[in-house]
A and B are shown apart, each in its own frame.
Chain A
Amino acid sequence: MTEPRNPAREASHDDDAAPLLKVEGLVKHFPIKKGLLQRQVGAVKAVDGIDFEVRRGETLGVVGESGCGKSTMGRLITRLLEPSGGRVEFDGADITHLKTAGLRPLRRDIQMIFQDPYGSLNPRHTIGAIVSAPFRLQGVEPEGGVKKEVQGLLERVGLSPEHYNRYPHEFSGGQRQRIGIARALALKPRLVVADEPVSALDVSIQAQVVNLLDDLQDDLGLTYVIIAHDLSVIRHVSDRIAVMYLGKMVELADRTSLYQAPMHPYTKALMSAVPVPDPRRRGAKSERILLRGDVPSPIAPPSGCRFHTRCWKATQVCATKEPPLLELAPGRRVACHHPENAADQVPGDAPLASARDAVALVGTAPPAAPVPPQAPAGEQ
């Protein structure tokens, strides 16, 4: 998956070096209003200044915990939401503040696949009506007619053309997700943003859909932004991966280096928390980092580095100065004062008191001196 997926595509565009999508300082604050006059009393800082670009033909994976702003980011770059600040450029054109009419041609090029295959299909429309809606709305008349084209699409995503007149409730979750994919692909988009495309599906079905997305990318030369919380899925599908925390991008790197040597402490903690389907490794987990507590509220995010309240490497500077997203190694951008696997940016700074208790190292192997369990209180 790392080699170019479709050599023909490379030549199809004049300006290959330029990224397909470029995002600078993207911000989205949702106002919180209170009282009779609905005065704004605060804001949920869902996305708070992120920069990245999506290259032609690649898959950019975006991971993070719930509330980190990854879905909002997806809706901003597809312009389902209007950014509060920053700039989004698609294929060289500024699309940050386009209005409905200006966005319409863009909808052909940028499409979205949604998480919930039950909520994203209208239960009163037939599959034919759902998948042909993009043609109707855009006034596109494909060669051979809409119906033939739609049946071709259904076949392409692994459904039968006879499903044309059926309704969504007749399909299982995995099949519905295929219908959503067929709809997204109808107008041959160039960028597909998939928000948790497989998280609602069973494991065996998940693999079918992941393979389908992979095949479609090879055949149609698509560029993907795949948003997910599952780090194993993200590693499987992505070329490059962005890690988000509380509205910020903390690390952006190619897949291999991110998984082999994460630089941001948060990335490291995230990866060590993934349960590994290998019981014999239970004993080898003394290195596992267990973060304490929860993600702070995006209404009042911590000062300085947003991760400093849960970070075991936090020092004084982390509480006051926000680390910039810097390229510390070729192709690897990290926002951290004290990165792992790279030179310390602010050496010699005094550690924060909170850093000592920030994490627990967990090993389920018989530890040298197990902590005696507390006597169960109130035993009957």
Chain B
Amino acid sequence: MTNLSKTGTALETPPGDGAPRAFLDVRDLKVHFPTDDGLVKSVDGLSFQLEKGRTLGVVGESGSGKSVTSLAVMGLHRLGARGKNVRMSGEIWLDGKELVGADPDEVRRLRGREMAMIFQDPLSAMHPYYTVGHQIVEAYRVHHKVTRKAARTRAVELLDRVGIPEPAKRFDSYPHEFSGGMRQRAMIAMALVNNPELLIADEPTTALDVTVQAQILDLIRDLQKEFGSAVVIITHDLGVVAEIADEILVMYGGRCVERGPVDSIFYEPQHPYTWGLLGSMPRIDREQTDRLIPVKGQPPSLINVPSGCAFNPRCPYADVPAGDLTRTERPELREVGSGHFSACHMAPDERTRIWTEEIAPKL
């Protein structure tokens, strides 16, 4: 691991290694991958906080750094190539412990027990050769010294809790014998078996049908109430975050462009990219519109991130701020409302005006 110089610290983050200010406190996280084509800056200075019992929705296009962030929190980047192919810097505080510089063995003890992850594709996240029950028991016994029988009882309890019918019988089934929705439930059971305090769900419902998606979101919501854990939901579907998140973080080109309480992001968004996301979605709850308002162009390359504001080549308002500011200077996150941050060069009044007069009426 190489420590990168700390530049571009977001304004709301105090400099230095002060004590963590939240249950999960990520500060100026950078994850870079050196490749033959150049340095891929997947995450480039990301900060956020999350308290227990709260749900954070992370949205953005593919390649915006959502999943890389979650793998960094789980400490999974250093596993594959023993840290040779990844450069990480910044701080990740989980319940008062710093994870980026921590001993890998220490992180391994936390992984699964204090933090757990639900992956997008349960068929590839589960081992096809072992029964579902075996895999849940394994996850439990790694962290708890209990007998096989006790672990089995615990696993059956969990399978029952996530809504799998006849859990004692299904315990001995293989992953391929489950349907997609059941597999996702089993994976949630596996993630929850150690009562983790932080649960990261990476596109937990993307592979599922809409009726099953509703069941799984409902389940995650219930389980969070019951266990009081902090939940991070990574998704590209704004409908999903609107259903389940308390706060939203919008990522673009490896950085946070806007974050805040769910209501602020949906009703007073302050970043042109967020406007673009809201405008590109066909909405079932509104009057039929003739045309969608897409974001023009393509997502940025993470090797040659556009200078200045990464969104400037696609931004319809790139010329609003005076001079060449959007092309030369990277905008920092600034507080625009209570707990609501946005990284845009446009003056707040100007943004509010564009949103209320030009964008909101078209949605």
Report yes or no: A269 in contact with B211, Cβ–Cβ below 8 A: yes
In this assembly, does A187 line the interface, its C-beta being within 8 Å of a C-beta of chain B?
no
CA distance A214 to B236 in the complex (A): 24
In this assembly, does A82 line the interface, its C-beta being within 8 Å of a C-beta of chain B?
no
- Which residues of B (42-100) have their CB < 8 Å from a CB of A? 61-62
Q: Write the chain B residue with the least CB distance to A210.
A: B292
Query: What mask results when residues 261 to 286 of chain B are scored 1 for a CB within 8 Å of chain A, else 0?
Result: 01100110000000011111111110
Given contacts A235-B288, A236-B292, A273-B211, contact A280 B277 (CB under 8 A): no
In this assembly, does A376 line the interface, its C-beta being within 8 Å of a C-beta of chain B?
yes
Given contacts A175-B298, A373-B226, A374-B226, contact A275 B281 (CB under 8 A): no
In this assembly, does B181 line the interface, its C-beta being within 8 Å of a C-beta of chain A?
yes
CA distance A259 to B211 in the complex (A): 16
Report yes or no: B227 in contact with A376, Cβ–Cβ below 8 A: yes
A360 CB to closest chain B CB (Å) equals 8
Q: How big is the A interface, by class? A: 35 or more
Report yes or no: B243 in contact with A275, Cβ–Cβ below 8 A: yes
Contacts of B215 in A (CB 8 A): 290-292
CA distance A278 to B211 in the complex (A): 19
CA distance A211 to B296 in the complex (A): 12
Contacts of B291 in A (CB 8 A): 211, 214
**Which of A172, A274, A379 meets B298, CB within 8 Å?**
A172
CA distance A292 to B226 in the complex (A): 21
Give the residue among B210, B218, B277, B299 with the most A Cβ atoms within 10 A: B210
Report yes or no: A203 in contact with B161, Cβ–Cβ below 8 A: no
Contacts of B276 in A (CB 8 A): 204
Contacts of B217 in A (CB 8 A): 275
In this assembly, does A229 line the interface, its C-beta being within 8 Å of a C-beta of chain B?
yes
Contacts of B293 in A (CB 8 A): 207
Q: Write the chain A residue with the least CB distance to B206.
A: A199
* B interface: dominant SS: helix
Q: Write the chain B residue with the least CB distance to A288.
A: B214
CA distance A295 to B182 in the complex (A): 12
In this assembly, does A355 line the interface, its C-beta being within 8 Å of a C-beta of chain B?
no
CA distance A208 to B299 in the complex (A): 13
Report yes or no: B294 in contact with A207, Cβ–Cβ below 8 A: yes
**Which of B154, B179, B221, B237 meets A294, CB within 8 Å?**
B179
Contacts of A207 in B (CB 8 A): 279-282, 292-295
CA distance A230 to B280 in the complex (A): 14
- Which residues of B (107-135) have their CB < 8 Å from a CB of A? none
Report yes or no: B292 in contact with A273, Cβ–Cβ below 8 A: no
CA distance A378 to B194 in the complex (A): 9
Given contacts A202-B236, A211-B294, A277-B278, contact A232 B243 (CB under 8 A): no
CA distance A210 to B222 in the complex (A): 36
Give the residue among A233, A276, A364, A374 with the most B Cβ atoms within 10 A: A276
Contacts of B319 in A (CB 8 A): none
**Which of B221, B242, B281 meets A203, CB within 8 Å?**
B281
**Which of B157, B211, B282 meets A378, CB within 8 Å?**
B157
In this assembly, does A352 line the interface, its C-beta being within 8 Å of a C-beta of chain B?
no
Give the residue among B61, B181, B292, B296 with the most A Cβ atoms within 10 A: B292
Contacts of B242 in A (CB 8 A): 275-279, 281-282
A31 CB to closest chain B CB (Å) equals 21
Report yes or no: B227 in contact with A377, Cβ–Cβ below 8 A: no
B243 CB to closest chain A CB (Å) equals 5
Contacts of A276 in B (CB 8 A): 239, 242-243, 283-285
Contacts of B284 in A (CB 8 A): 231-232, 235, 259, 271, 274, 276
**Which of A175, A208, A275, A278 meets B237, CB within 8 Å?**
A275
Give the residue among A229, A259, A277 with the most B Cβ atoms within 10 A: A277
In this assembly, does A362 line the interface, its C-beta being within 8 Å of a C-beta of chain B?
yes
Tally the A-B contacts, defined by beta carbons under 8 Å: 159
Given contacts A172-B298, A378-B157, contact A277 B210 (CB under 8 A): no
Given contacts A276-B285, A279-B266, contact A380 B225 (CB under 8 A): no
In this assembly, does B238 line the interface, its C-beta being within 8 Å of a C-beta of chain A?
yes
In this assembly, does B240 line the interface, its C-beta being within 8 Å of a C-beta of chain A?
yes
Report yes or no: A231 in contact with B210, Cβ–Cβ below 8 A: yes
Q: Write the chain A residue with the least CB distance to B193.
A: A378
Query: What mask results when residues 144 to 181 of chain A are scored 1 for a CB within 8 Å of chain B, else 0?
Result: 00000000000000000000000000001111000000
In this assembly, does A342 line the interface, its C-beta being within 8 Å of a C-beta of chain B?
no
A356 CB to closest chain B CB (Å) equals 16
Report yes or no: B209 in contact with A229, Cβ–Cβ below 8 A: yes
Report yes or no: A65 in contact with B283, Cβ–Cβ below 8 A: no
Query: What mask results when residues 158 to 199 of chain B are scored 1 for a CB within 8 Å of chain A, else 0?
Result: 000100010000000000000111100000000000110000
In this assembly, does B213 line the interface, its C-beta being within 8 Å of a C-beta of chain A?
yes
Give the residue among B262, B278, B299 with the most A Cβ atoms within 10 A: B299
Contacts of A326 in B (CB 8 A): none
Given contacts A279-B242, A373-B226, contact A294 B263 (CB under 8 A): no
Report yes or no: A373 in contact with B222, Cβ–Cβ below 8 A: yes
Report yes or no: B195 in contact with A204, Cβ–Cβ below 8 A: no
Given contacts A235-B288, A273-B214, contact A378 B209 (CB under 8 A): no
Given contacts A202-B299, A282-B243, contact A380 B195 (CB under 8 A): yes
Contacts of B238 in A (CB 8 A): 203, 277
Give the residue among B62, B211, B242 with the most A Cβ atoms within 10 A: B211
Given contacts A202-B61, A202-B62, A377-B154, contact A65 B209 (CB under 8 A): yes
- Which residues of A (220-279) have their CB < 8 Å from a CB of B? 229-233, 235-236, 255-256, 259, 269-271, 273-279
In this assembly, does A216 line the interface, its C-beta being within 8 Å of a C-beta of chain B?
no
In this assembly, does A205 line the interface, its C-beta being within 8 Å of a C-beta of chain B?
yes
Contacts of B263 in A (CB 8 A): 279-280
B14 CB to closest chain A CB (Å) equals 30
Q: Write the chain B residue with the least CB distance to A231.
A: B284
In this assembly, does A66 line the interface, its C-beta being within 8 Å of a C-beta of chain B?
yes
Nearest first, the 3 A-B pairs at minimum CB distance are A275-B239, A207-B294, A207-B280
A-B contact pairs, 27 of them (CB 8 A): A1-B288, A65-B209, A66-B209, A173-B62, A203-B236, A204-B276, A204-B277, A207-B279, A207-B280, A207-B281, A207-B294, A229-B209, A235-B282, A236-B282, A236-B288, A255-B288, A274-B210, A275-B240, A276-B243, A277-B285, A279-B266, A281-B242, A281-B285, A290-B215, A293-B165, A295-B179, A373-B222
Further pairs besides A205-B298, A275-B217, A275-B239: 14, Cβ < 8 Å: A204-B277, A205-B61, A207-B295, A210-B292, A233-B282, A275-B240, A279-B262, A290-B211, A290-B215, A290-B218, A294-B182, A373-B222, A376-B226, A377-B157
